[in-house]
Chain A
Amino acid sequence: MAIIEIRSLTKTFGKIRAVRGIDLTIEKGEIFGLLGPNGAGKTTTIGMLCTIIRPTSGSGIIAGFDIAKHPTQVRQNVGIVFQDPTLDTILTGRENLQLHARLYGIPAQDRSRWIEEMLELVDLTQRADDLTKTYSGGMRRRLELARGLLHRPAVLFLDEPTLGLDPQTRARTWEYIRKMAQKERTTVVLTTHYMEEAQLMCDRIGIIDAGQIIALDTPGNMIDMLGGDIVAVKSPNPPLDIIRALPYVSAIKTVGETIEITMKSAHLHLAELLSLIDNVVSVEIRKPTLNDVFIRLTGRDIRQEDVENNGSWVETIARYRQRGK
């Protein structure tokens, strides 16, 4: 069942065409990632779906309600965690949730029970009666997640939910998001420009660039689209023509003394491949990432401006998951 249906959604600010006709259908229970560089139109799109920004043209239906015609009903059915923190820091954690509960019309007899449940879910029961200005960045984010889900929305929008958090906190925040999404089978739509996080978290991904969706698929399919694993072999004189002719090889790229071979099922064919190459100095196999997909599609790196400390925990989780399989 489709919970979100967007048709030719467009937003123009003066001369700037921030969103240029997006079509998208998101199913109930999906974790959907909207990926793209800064300024691609992610936040504007989410803003329109939450009825904060009025679309220039096009339509959007969320949980059966039209974003232009029935904004109040749409608001009732969505939760949102903004990119920048929006907690009331002079109130305690519990008071923030109480305010939200009233604003969203949660019946008085359910309020405190729902609030306790959410506090427990994000492990803030102990700190619930402290002012939120004493919270750490990760705790604030968790409380915002709890607040976003308190009124049991059909769709939860998360705009860069882990931006500005340190790697450990980011990993934990994702755990909470997953846990919460499972709890009520809430549909989650998130934006991020951390490709590795999206790859691990999302059922499906839409890559957005210059206000348009340029690719839409599961992370697995997107990566498969590149034609398999990347095997980097360092060798002084590899037989390029022979390698290129192999049925499972889809592309070859020479980078100095190293050749990067894109091939299907590297783990099955590696032995045969290496037997064809003399004087192998080193071999490295890596799975392509969504960032490789983005580079293939646009010719640019998605996060030119921030290549800082992500990666470490992502690798940890990736290893953990592989072990689990």
Chain B
Amino acid sequence: MNSLNVQRELLGISAVWWREFKVFWREKSRIVSSIVQPLMWLFLFGSGIGASLSVGSVNYRDYIYPGILTMSVIFGSVFFGLYIIWDRKLDVLKAVLVAPVTRISIFFGKVLGGCTDVLLQVAILFAFSFLFPSVNPWGIPLAFLFLLVTSIALVSLGLALGSLLESLEGFQVISAFLIFPLFFLSGALFPVDERLPPWLHGLVKLNPLSYTVDGVRGALLGINTYPFYMDLGILIFFAAAMLFLGSILFSRMN
């Protein structure tokens, strides 16, 4: 009986996952724009600044490659989670929520779906890595691991916030007061060291996503402030906390 229940829940998780994947694949324009935007950051912004600026021996455009990967994970993941506000408005979730599957399973299905979407985008961005001479392709698997854990955390965070919010107005607020600060304060666009003003340095150190950028930058460029195990440990802890928070809020959502 018990193993049957586990099987049923796993089938439920896979059902939600399958649905998210179908939707992702169908909205081709969303995939394209989610790839084009980071590429613009890299080639229009990065090449522009890189023309007159290098960080150490690394050209600025190459230097922000790990940061821009992190940026696509931040935006993609949180927005995916927040998207359930729409689902709820359109009553798409209602039929799923009355199924004989626990809320936790539906939540995990959503998290898996979101991570899959985001990591597919990341994989496409990795395919462009040959255009960045300083990037070491052998570091990609480790970078991928950092981004996976980060994506789990942020999809959960997005779902948690989406469960709380009733309307789409909250979307702008979260975008302005959460997503952009998380991005800017992650060191995605600048090196994090003693040259930063102390207040900024402090905020960056408090931001869990700084450890994603540090880890990915270490894996791809060999430039990191903290050891990998520390970056990964902090991110796993962050992801676990967000999964916990998200599953509670999602279960309470009406």
Contacts and interface: CB of A to CB of B under 8 A. Distances in A.
A84 B91 contact: yes
Contacts of B99: 75, 100, 103-104
A76 B91 contact: no
A250 B24 CA distance: 67
B22 interface: yes
A251 interface: no
Contacts of B8: 105
Contacts of A102: 11-12, 14-15, 18
Contacts of B19: 88, 91, 95, 99
Interface string B34-70: 0000000000000000000000000000000000000
Contact of A103 (B22, B23, B101): B101
B100 A105 contact: yes
A103 B91 CA distance: 17
A240 to B, nearest CB: 56
Given A91-B19, A102-B12, A105-B8, A75 B91 contact: no
Contacts of B94: 82, 86
Contact of A88 (B27, B92, B98): B92
Contacts of A75: 98-100
B18 A103 contact: no
B23 A52 contact: no
A12 interface: no
A73 interface: yes
Interface residues of B, number: 24
A103 B92 contact: no
A245 to B, nearest CB: 58
Interface in B159-186: none
B95 interface: yes
Interface in B72-96: 90-92, 94-96
Q: Which of B15, B27, B95, B101 has the most CB of A within 10 A?
A: B95
A50 interface: yes
Interface string B194-231: 00000000000000000000000000000000000000
Contacts of A72: 100, 102
B14 A91 contact: no
Nearest to B27: A90
A89 interface: yes
A85 interface: yes
A104 B12 CA distance: 8
A85 B16 CA distance: 19
Nearest to B12: A103
Contact of B15 (A89, A99, A147): A99
A91 B23 contact: yes
10 contacts: A72-B102, A85-B91, A86-B92, A88-B19, A91-B19, A95-B19, A98-B18, A103-B12, A103-B16, A147-B95
Interface of B: 8, 11-12, 14-16, 18-19, 22-23, 26-27, 90-92, 94-102
Q: Which 9 A-B residue pairings sit nearest by Cβ, starting from the closest?
A: A102-B15, A103-B99, A75-B100, A86-B95, A76-B100, A86-B91, A86-B94, A72-B100, A105-B8
Interface of A: 50-52, 72-73, 75-76, 80, 82, 84-91, 95, 98-100, 102-105, 147
Given A72-B102, A91-B22, 6 more contacts: A76-B100, A82-B91, A86-B91, A90-B22, A99-B18, A102-B14
